[in-house]
Amino acid sequence: MKNKFILILIAVIVAIILIPIPIKKLFKIKYIYGNINSSISNNKNYLSDYSTEENTVIYYIPHPDDETLSMGIPILNDIKNKKNVQVVLFTEGEDSGAISNINTKIDRYHIIFRKYHVIDRRDMANARVVEFMRASLILGIKPKNIHFENFRSGKLTELECKQTMLKYKKMFPNSACRTTSTFDVNPDHRHLGQALFKLHKEGIIKDAAFFLSPEEWDKTIYGKINNIVTPIDMKKIEEPIKGSNPNLTLAFVDALNSYNLWNPTDADYAVGYNSVKDYFDNVTKCKISMLIPVKDIKVIDEGPIAVPPYRTYLQNTMNTIVKRVLLTIQDISNLWLKIGNIGL
């Protein structure tokens, strides 16, 4: 009987250490897509579904939020003009530095350890995917036109970008292609730009355009480029349907705000705003996207790229387990001291 009790106690302690709280995390993928499905059902329909498989425009997106921050206005304009808009998300942006900001603000309480429960990079990546889906739906992109490639954020290579673009070229032979610019400091942004530019020069992709990240609106690693940037103003897109419904400006602002939803209980961590709040504020204020025509794109031999240190999911998981072991030992010690005090 005593041995049985000890085994049960050990099993309970192991379960406490290894099973994350809340239990929702055990069903992470199901929960994430449940959240996305909820976003689909609650999405405001700013634009009617009138696109066809012809007139396709593909937007290649390096990380969640780039589709709205850098390309939100042209996406809205293409949908308004009855284009078949497809978006391809290359990475989940799991290397974002926003995780530290989120974990200092989070208010989820661990009911077992009486500690605040922090998130790991997998949690943050899932939250970013949900933010991306919400924004895409608000912009008017059909769920079936949203594609995921799952490359590693911060490590995206030009070759991976080219191979993926060629894959979608086969799916949509006459498509126009849009992505971030070769002037962007972020290597994932830059490699997408370089891949599309080279495919255009080779004559494989005829219609290509590039959009400058808000990070580079004032300056880039190549110096000032304001003389080659063409601002696309939200007002010009709104003019033909001014005073009527749908309201594209409202759609754009709502898409931006979808990255500022804070509700840790439902795994909404406002990752976009915790990552690059200044960019969101600037784009919300100016309501423009910065187009760089293909004739003005330059590709410079950049040499080796320094990639920020990145901890793998396994490393983060091991760190979480170690923390749980230490917290469990601490709680058992405290409980033992309380029992001892009662005995005294």
Token look-up 């760089």 returns 292
Token representation of residue 230: 């063409």
Angstrom distances, CA of residue 128 to CA of 21, 66, 262, 301: 20, 11, 12, 32
How far apart, in whole angstroms, are the C-alpha atoms of residue 311 and residue 331?
A: 28
Angle formed by the axes of helices 121-139 and 271-286, to 10°? Answer: 30
* Cβ neighbours, 10 Å, residue 278: 10
Summarised one tens digit per residue, pLDDT across range 244-293 is 545 888 899 999 999 999 988 788 999 999 999 999 999 999 999 999 88
How far apart, in whole angstroms, are the C-alpha atoms of residue 320 and residue 119?
A: 9
Domain ranges for the chain? 31-299
CB distance 271 to 124 below 8 Å = yes
How far apart, in whole angstroms, are the C-alpha atoms of residue 16 and residue 326?
A: 12
**At 147, is the secondary structure helix, strand, or coil?**
strand
Summarised one tens digit per residue, pLDDT across range 25-82 is 434 444 444 444 444 444 444 444 444 567 899 999 999 999 999 999 999 999 999 9
Strands 208-212 and 176-180, by their bridges, are parallel
Q: What pLDDT band is residue 22 in, cutting at 50, 70 and 90?
A: very low
CB distance 225 to 293 below 8 Å = no
For 31-299, CATH gives 3.40.50.10320
Please give the model's pTM, rounded to 2 decimal places. Answer: 0.73
